[in-house]
Structure 1
Amino acid sequence: MKGKNSKPHFHVTAGLIWKNGKVLIAKRPKGSHLEGLWEFPGGKQEKGESLRHCLEREITEELGIEIKAGKLFLPVKHEYDYKVISLHTFNCTLLTGEPKALQGQEIRWVDPARLCEFEFPPPDMLVVKAICQSSSEANASNRRVCVRLSKFLLEA
């Protein structure tokens, strides 16, 4: 129950939509809250809607594509001066279509290593850091495998 001075709390979803090793990001359009900042596509949960359904609906509305919301990647809670949001970020599978900016936003496919070159809102920045850390760990693991393979091939 909300007290007299409590802030409204919104549940927001975001999708990590991957294609050829790149993730899709969108720039918030002029006139919108946090305009000009980049984000992972998604939106606010409606009453009675599951988080996954919310994300799938929002992606279709914003980008004209169908996705399957998969595993929860990272939940983040952030408090602004006037509201609280819980950002639920999911790894997604692109099912059909090619993303189009249907709501005036700019969209880009970005290599995970370049995400730090874009300005994101605070909750999304935590997701960016987690992606970069995952990417770095995966790259380190891949390098170890490549070194082992090259040693094996040299010995053969």
Structure 2
Amino acid sequence: MIRVAAAIIENRQGQLLIARRKKGKSQEGLWEFPGGKIEHKETAEECLKRELREEMNIEIEPYAYFGENDHWYGQTHIRLIAYRARFVSGEIRLVDHDENVWVNPNQLGEFTFAPADIKFVELLSR
């Protein structure tokens, strides 16, 4: 099983940051809550701070556990661990994504998400 963290990042207007996986990456063309693989002896919160710094050039502050979702992509089992986070600073520069957008929670259903993220989209859209 691969442990992966996802950040549900909110800005001051209450919008959420989502990003689209770029061509050539697994799940290309699908939207997701940004994050990445949790390294050995790393907490999900530490992972999210590191990944968002590396992949988007932004600083975030994870503040609340949101939930987990076990998902199988073929033979690969991932456990996606989501945390709510505040956007702190930085100007977004994309590495693993080709687009990002800030959306209101009720707009999430307008995007096609990676299967592992759909559980969180459904919870946030209520």
TM-score range, shorter chain: over 0.9
Show the counterpart of 2:6.
Answer: 14
Moved over 2 A (4+): 102-105
Give the aligned length: 125
What are the equivalent positions in structure 2 for 1:22-101 lying under 5 Å apart? 22-101=15-94
Give the Cα–Cα distance (whole angstroms) in 1 for the partners of residues 103 and 86 of structure 2.
16
Give the Cα–Cα distance (whole angstroms) in 2 for the partners of residues 47 and 103 of structure 1.
21
Give the Cα–Cα distance (whole angstroms) in 2 for the partners of residues 21 and 46 of structure 1.
30
**Higher alpha-carbon Rg:** 1
Please say if residues 36 and 48 of structure 2, whose CA atoms lie closer than 8 Å, have aligned partners that are also in contact.
yes
Q: CA deviation at 1:79?
A: 1.6
Highest relative contact order (Cα 8 Å, sep 6+), 1 or 2?
A: 2
User: What's the TM-score, normalizing by structure 1?
Assistant: 0.76
Q: CA deviation at 1:105?
A: 2.3
User: What's the TM-score, normalizing by structure 2?
Assistant: 0.94
Q: 1:119 to 1:52 in 2, by over 3 A?
A: same
Q: 3-state DSSP class of the match of 1:49?
A: coil
Q: CA deviation at 1:102?
A: 3.5
More strand by share: 2
Q: CA deviation at 1:88?
A: 0.6
Q: 1:132 to 1:104 in 2, by over 3 A?
A: closer
Show the counterpart of 2:123.
Answer: 130
More helix by share: 1
Q: Which amino acid aligns with 1:128?
A: V
Percent of paired sites with the same residue: 39
Q: Which amino acid aligns with 1:72?
A: Y
Give the Cα–Cα distance (whole angstroms) in 2 for the partners of residues 97 and 51 of structure 1.
21
Please say if residues 64 and 84 of structure 2, whose CA atoms lie closer than 8 Å, have aligned partners that are also in contact.
yes
Aligned-CA RMSD value: 1.1
